[in-house]
Amino acid sequence: MPVQTTTGSPGADAAAESSELFGQLATGFSGVDPNLSARLMWAWTKNGAMHSGFHGTTILKIDEALPMKDPVLGDATFPGWYSVLRNGWGTRDETAVWFVNGDFYRDHAHEDNGNVAIYALGAPLSVDWGSMYDPPSPGAMMHNAPVPEAKLKTS
């Protein structure tokens, strides 16, 4: 899951809103992998320390006293799914490119393949801000994926 950076720019396919998920995962991993837990806790805190009551209140699911650690994110490739190139983590000149480059997408399969999101020097250049429900925008045009001109329906 993409992480909002210290410059405030969200990762690819992420809305500019917080999620309680990082805090819940940090709590779950705290006794098994303290390093991962601290990195997740950092992400939850930097993204607004959101709580939710969607599946029962997260006030009972997140241990807010857990330690935090800057994750110092860099380049990564997740075969069959995603790649990210990142430079300048934690600086005002942070630059990152996220690329959906695989077909293993169980939780979220639609026309995302080829999607590219770019933040350069902390500013968005290309973001996946497609409408999820309304207005409807089916297919790759919902995302910032390359689409051959012949496939565009113009009228």
Q: pLDDT for 72-89, tens place per residue?
A: 999 999 988 889 999 999
pLDDT of amino acid 44: 95
For 98-150, write each residue's pLDDT tens digit.
888 877 665 555 666 778 889 899 888 887 765 566 666 666 666 677 777 88
As a whole-number percent, the residues of the chain with pLDDT over 70 amount to 72
Residue 152 confidence (pLDDT): 73
**How far is the C-alpha of 119 from the C-alpha of 127, rounded, in Å?**
8
Predicted confidence (pLDDT) at residue 2 exceeds the cutoff of 80 = no
Confidence of residue 5 (pLDDT cuts 50, 70, 90): very low
Give the span between the Cα atoms of 29 and 36, in whole angstroms: 7
